[in-house]
Structure 1
Amino acid sequence: MMRILIVSDMHGSLGKVKRLASIRRELTVVAGDISRCGSIEEAKAVLGELARQSPVAWIPGNCDSPELVRVSIANAECIHMKVYRFKELVLAGVGGSIYTPFGTPFEYSEEEYSGMLAELKEEIKKNSNGGKVVLVSHTPPYMSGLDRVRGGAYVGSPSLRKLIAEARPLLVATGHIHEAWGVASVEGVLAVNPGPLEAGKYAIVDIDPAENMVRVRLARLTESPAADEL
């Protein structure tokens, strides 16, 4: 059994990231929006702190600079458009997001995203070698509930939903939509939006790849740091 901490939408909240140190896990998965306004130095500080706590697999979000993917941080693997093996798992990711109303640094069209996903699907086929896949995308899948904004609209990607149906990963980790903190079944695949760590929210996943077993628990930082231990 492997324990993974999944976080997203930190937006530079280094103090909250430091409080995660008390949470036992073998791997941290970061689903994007590490910085507030594209600051590479801010993102490096956040990722560096997480990498001191455990190995990290990460993607940038739409609020991060596209140049962040070129930054090297010890013990932290960028999985944007890549496949990364961690023990029995294969992690594959796509950072940035489809267009938003806010003109953030790392955005693209649904058509571009569909092409990126097609490339990633090929990478998974070539490099998974039988490992169980965890797919990480800052953009959530369409009509999953994990993409529903406060006004009720669904703003996720149909292309991602299609890939989930075809690739059948063991787990999907996403973020981006702060108010859509939750767990959903998408095309029969478990998916989680851990919520914004900026607001103290995260998810703990216990995963047994050999048995295809995944258990997700949503959690949040408490008022008392001593009570955060899991």
Structure 2
Amino acid sequence: MKILAFTDPHGNEQIIREVIKLAKLKKPDLIICPGDLTIFEKNLSEILEKLNKIKIPLLVIPGNHEEAGDMKKICDKFENIIYLHRGIFEINDYVFFGYGGDGFSSENKEFEKVAKSVEKRIKGKKVVLITHQPPYGNKLDNLEYFDHVGNKSYRKFIEKNKPMLALSGHLHENFGAMDKIGKTIIINPGPLGKLIKI
């Protein structure tokens, strides 16, 4: 399966055009955005309408610039946009689990509750975790003057459930960063996108 992942374009029209161009050229099976499509939801409907026209499923979660309920209402209007916050999406042998929002906490008890309810449904499957904030303790969450600022709840989930891939964004300083937690590949694809084969 081929995935085009991009994050944190913050409503930049040129970046959205580049992502659309890349999607048309590379023809991925899925497009994934781990949040912050916009700056506080400005032009969210218009951006999603453009991405919907590609006719490739787009899995999206809110970042810290989108309100979950508002984003869901807008996503539900589009055939090819799949709102993944607090949910899963299954295709072939793969399960995608998304949890968005936040970005600034060291732990997330609400995520832990949702993850617990999802764990039985994903056991033994090829799992991709999609969060806005990166997991704790790796190249994706390491900031020069603050050390690690990722989320420990996401890391615990990765260590316990061993997804094959974890995608996140949020930290602009680490766009393009890749690392591993155990055997799980973790990537911040950045706004211009990264093609990933799983």
- TM-score > 0.5 by shorter chain: yes
2:126 equivalent in structure 1: 132
* Structure 1 residue 31: Cα displacement: 0.5
Residues 99-133 of structure 1, C-alpha deviations (whole Å, 9 max, x = no match) = 3xxxxxxxxx545x23323312422423x374311
5+ residue gaps, structure 2, are: none
Q: 1:203 to 1:161 in 2, by over 3 A?
A: same
On the 8 A contact 1:138/1:176 being kept in 2, the answer is yes
Counterpart residue number, 1:23? 26
Find the counterpart in structure 2 of residue 164 from structure 1. 158
Report how many aligned residue pairs link the two structures: 189
Is the partner of 1:117 in helix, strand or coil? helix
Match of 2:186 among 182, 191, 198: 191
Which runs of 4 or more aligned residues in structure 1 lie more than 4 Å from their structure 2 counterparts after TM superposition? none
Once the two structures are superposed, residues 48-79 of structure 1 have per-residue CA deviations (whole angstroms, 9 ceiling, x without a partner) of 22222211111010011232123312211111
Contact in 2 for aligned 1:141/1:160 (Cα 8 Å): yes
Correspondent of 1:70 among 61, 69, 73: 73
Residue 59 of structure 1: aligned partner: 61
TM-score by length of 1: 0.76
Conserved in 1, the CA contact under 8 Å of 2:111 and 2:153? no
Unpaired runs of 5+ residues, structure 1, are 100-108, 208-230
- Structure 2 residue aligned with 1:82: 87
> Are the aligned partners of 2:130 and 2:168 in contact in 1 as well (CA < 8 Å)?
yes
Code of the residue aligned with 1:188 in structure 2: it is K
Residue 38 (structure 1) aligned with residue 34 (structure 2):
no
AA in 2 matched with 1:123 = V
Correspondence for 1:102: none
Distance in 2 (CA, whole Å) between partners of 1:133 and 1:177 is 23
Cα distance between partner residues in 2 of 1:17 and 1:88: 29
* Structure 1 position 175 matched with structure 2 position 178: no
Partner of 1:211: none
Between the aligned partners of 1:150 and 1:13, the Cα distance in structure 2 is 26
> Counterpart of 2:173 in 1: which secondary structure?
helix
Shift of 1:152: 4.6
TM-superposed CA distance for 1:153, in Å, is 2.2
Distance 2:10 2:81 in 1: 18
